[in-house]
A and B are shown apart, each in its own frame.
Chain A
Amino acid sequence: MEGKTTYWQENLRLIFICLAIWFVVSFGLGLLLVEPLNAIRLGGYKLGFWFAQQGSIYTFVGLIFWYTAKMNALDKKYDVEES
């Protein structure tokens, strides 16, 4: 029972980290900090604009694989892997 609780707590922690990154990338870099970031250029594009248009999407896709890898590691740690 205790193992299940800590597994779930670690799972929740991972979800909150993912949501925090999702928020920082989409709202933080793509909206709230867009003006100062636009002063920086990335491949000819304004960085704030780039985050709003592409960067956040790349991060979301990266988050999917990162979450999966971390969860697989968690499954292995608690010995609840899929057979």
Chain B
Amino acid sequence: MNKHTKMALMVAPFLILGGYIASDFYIEDQAQKQRVFQLVPYGHCDVINQSCILKSGEFEVNVFDEAGITKVNATFPLDTATLFLVDAEQNVSTHQLGMTDSPYYWQSPTALRSLIPKKGDKYKLRLIANIKGGQYISEFYTQTTQ
């Protein structure tokens, strides 16, 4: 092993370390930038019968209702989650969801079950889910199928 090999082997770890630190700064900077993504329903959305998945890339949100409690279960931990019920006159009732157990699970009591109890009933919902560096938004309809 001559002097050049020794020199290259000594310098390489510092370059790798420098690259690692610089990458971390770059990624951190990118993550801080607020970006907005749209969630779209994956198949038919029926919140009452617990069959409503919203999707954006690898991020998925399951929205379902259990005994008048509307719940949101996300694949990534959320900072906040807000659900809006929009009636036919475009009046909005806002529900700030509260965290349950972990940042993956959020819920709030809503009137959704009493608003669309019968098969074929339809209601407009909006969801805003905030995660670090990103805001996921969606406007979708839930329709009771059974």
Q: 21 A-B contacts, Cβ less than 8 Å apart?
A: A26-B23, A27-B22, A27-B23, A27-B26, A30-B23, A31-B23, A31-B26, A31-B27, A56-B19, A57-B16, A60-B15, A60-B16, A63-B12, A64-B9, A64-B12, A67-B8, A68-B2, A68-B8, A72-B2, A72-B4, A75-B4
Measured CB to CB, the residues of B under 8 A from A are: 2-5, 8-9, 12, 15-16, 19, 22-23, 26-27
Q: Are the C-beta atoms of B12 and A27 separated by less than 8 Å? A: no
What does DSSP make chain B's interface, helix, strand, loop or mixed?
A: helix
| Interface Cβ pair total, 8 Å cutoff | 37
Q: Is A79 in contact with chain B by the CB < 8 A criterion? A: no
Query: Contacts A26-B23, A27-B22, A60-B15; is A82 near B5 (CB within 8 Å)?
Result: no
Please determine whether B5 and A64 come into contact, CB atoms closer than 8 angstroms.
yes
Nearest CB to that of A66 among chain B residues?
Answer: B8
